[in-house]
Amino acid sequence: MSLPGLDDWLAPSRPLAPGVSVCVTTRAGAFSPAPWDGFNLGLNCGDEPGRVTRAREHVAEVLGIRPVWLAQVHGTDILDAAAARGDGSEQADGCISRRPGDAAVVLTADCVPVVLARQDGTAVGAFHAGWRGLQAGILERACALMAADGESLAAWVGPAICAHCYQVDAPVRDAFVGAQPSDAAFFHEDGPGHWRFDLPGLSRQRLIQAGVGQVSGGDWCTVCHNHRFYSHRQAQPTGRFATLIWLNTR
Ligand SMILES: [Zn+2]
């Protein structure tokens, strides 16, 4: 059994804002056995809870932060890190942190992890955008909460299933196009009743529409790069990787 180190994890090529750090964990490591191999951070995907808790502690130790773990439910609730227990028992799909060292974190395996930072360096947030959460408006809600005063935001889109790898049926497309016809541009017909859906692309579009000045990322696919990231579409059960953002302690 070996635990991963900082060199095994990823970060955006440029900081989102001064004093802001972002980290994405990967499957690297030989800590979790198959089918969660090798570094699973998700509870409720069949892995042994004690091992997952130890893996979560390892993330906190390596990064020197307090991650605020959530119980994600594909909804639009967003927690305030300072008021959160952070032990994974609170249901929410996003978290905003204004206190250095409190890290907002989401777990994914195909859904889109989005991190946001205020350009004045006073708040950061992490949000889980699967198709249900995206359709329900979690990213618009995140932007409204983080920039109510009009401060500019920067966003980064983490590893998620790409347009080539994500096939959906009519109910998913109808949910988007019925509410906003221009969303049809993100669905490409792929046989009768099937479409390829660009979930990361639509997430980026939602962020831009919500007024985010800088949107980057979206370069990694959980299926195309399945050796590096967990993918729920590729294997079930499987693990979850974490996308974290925090304000550095000064
Ligand atoms: Zn792909």
Residue 1 in this model has a pLDDT that exceeds 90: no
Q: How far is the CA of 18 from the centre of ligand 1 (A)?
A: 32
Confidence at 201, pLDDT banded by 50, 70, 90: very high
**Residue 90 is which amino acid?**
E
Task: Give the pLDDT score at 114.
Answer: 98
- Name the helix (H) or strand (E) containing 50: helix 49-63
Encode pLDDT of 26-36 as tens digits. Answer: 999 999 999 99
Q: Ligand 1 centroid vs 141 CA: distance in angstroms?
A: 28
pLDDT at 102: 98
CA of 230 to the centre of ligand 1 (A): 12
pLDDT band of 6, cuts 50, 70, 90: very high
Amino acid, single-letter form, for residue 69: W
Distance 113 CA to ligand 1 centre (A): 15
CA of 226 to the centre of ligand 1 (A): 9
223 neighbors 231 (Cβ within 8 angstroms): yes
**E strand intervals along the chain:** 20-24, 66-71, 78-80, 87-91, 94-97, 102-108, 112-118, 124-129, 153-157, 167-169, 187-189, 194-197, 214-217, 241-247
Q: How far is the CA of 223 from the centre of ligand 1 (A)?
A: 5
CATH class label, 6-161+219-247: alpha beta
> Per residue in 177-197, pLDDT tens?
999 999 999 999 999 999 999
In the chain, what is the straight-line distance between the N-terminal and C-terminal CA atoms, in Å? 34
Contact 110, 128 (CB under 8 A): no
Angstrom distance (rounded) from CA 72 to CA 136: 14
CA of 90 to the centre of ligand 1 (A): 31
Per-residue model confidence (pLDDT) at position 185: 98
CA of 193 to the centre of ligand 1 (A): 21
Residue 250 pLDDT > 80 = no
For residues 177 and 184, is the Cβ–Cβ distance under 8 A?
Answer: yes
112 Cα to the center of ligand 1, angstroms: 13
CB 207 within 8 A of CB 151: no
Q: What percent of the chain has pLDDT over 90?
A: 99
Domain boundaries, the chain: 6-161+219-247
- Expressed in angstroms and rounded, the spacing between residue 227 Cα and the centre of ligand 1 is 12
The number of CA neighbours under 13 Å toward the Cβ of 127 is 34
Separation of CA 126 and ligand 1 centre (Å): 22
> How many Å lie between the centroid of ligand 1 and the Cα of residue 166?
7
Q: Let me know: does 30 contact 38? Beta carbons within 8 Å.
A: yes
3-state secondary structure of 78: strand
User: Residues 248, 121, 13, 27: is their CA dihedral positive or negative?
Assistant: positive
Distance of CA 108 from the midpoint of ligand 1 (Å):
15
Three-state SS string over 169-208 comes to EHHHHHHHHHHCHHHHHHEEECCCCEEEECHHHHHHHHHH
Residues 212-238: pLDDT tens digits?
Answer: 999 999 999 999 999 999 999 999 999
Give per-residue pLDDT as tens, 89-143. 999 999 999 999 999 999 999 999 999 999 999 999 999 999 999 999 999 999 9
CA of 91 to the centre of ligand 1 (A): 29
Q: What does the alpha-carbon distance between residue 113 and residue 157 come to, in Å, rounded to a whole number? A: 6
User: 23-69, pLDDT tens digit by residue?
Assistant: 999 999 999 999 999 999 999 999 999 999 999 999 999 999 999 99
pLDDT band of residue 4 (cuts 50, 70, 90) is: very high
Residue 146's pLDDT band, with cuts at 50, 70 and 90, is very high
Output the CA 216–ligand 1 centroid distance in Å.
18
Count of Cβ atoms closer than 10 Å to residue 141 Cβ: 18
Residue 177 backbone dihedrals phi, psi, to 5 degrees: -70, -30
CA dihedral sign, ordered 222, 223, 227, 230:
positive
